[in-house]
Chains A and B, each alone.
Chain A
Amino acid sequence: MSDRGYPDAVADEFPPPPTAFTDREDREIEIRPYEGDDETREALVEMYDAFDPADRAQGIPPGGEDRIREWLSAILAGDCYNVIAWCGDEVAGHATLVPDGDAYELAIFVHQEYQRAGIGTHLIRGLLGHGQANGVEKVWLTVERWNRAAVSLYKKIGFETSDAESFELEMGLRLHAADDEDADPDPDDGGE
Chain B
Amino acid sequence: MKVLCGIGGSDDSFRALDRTVDRAAVANDDLTIAVVDNEDSSVSPDEVVERAEAAADEAEIDAEVRRVEGDPGSRLVEIAETEGFEEIVLGGGHTSPMGKITIGPIAEFVLLNAKTSVTLVR
Contacts and interface: CB of A to CB of B under 8 A. Distances in A.
B98 interface: yes
A71 B100 CA distance: 11
Contacts of B100: 57-60, 105, 107, 142
Interface in B80-121: 94-105, 108
Contacts of A1: 40, 94, 96, 102
Interface in A46-83: 57-60, 62, 71, 74-75
Count class of interface residues, chain B: 10 to 19
A75 B100 CA distance: 12
A142 B103 CA distance: 12
Interface in B38-59: 40
Contacts of B40: 1
Contacts of A59: 95, 99-101
Interface residues of A, number: 21
Nearest to A2: B40
B99 A100 contact: no
Contacts of B94: 1
Contacts of A166: 102-105, 108
Q: Which of A57, A60, A62, A74 has the most CB of B within 10 A?
A: A60
A137 interface: no
Q: Which 3 A-B pairs have the closest CB atoms?
A: A58-B100, A59-B101, A100-B97
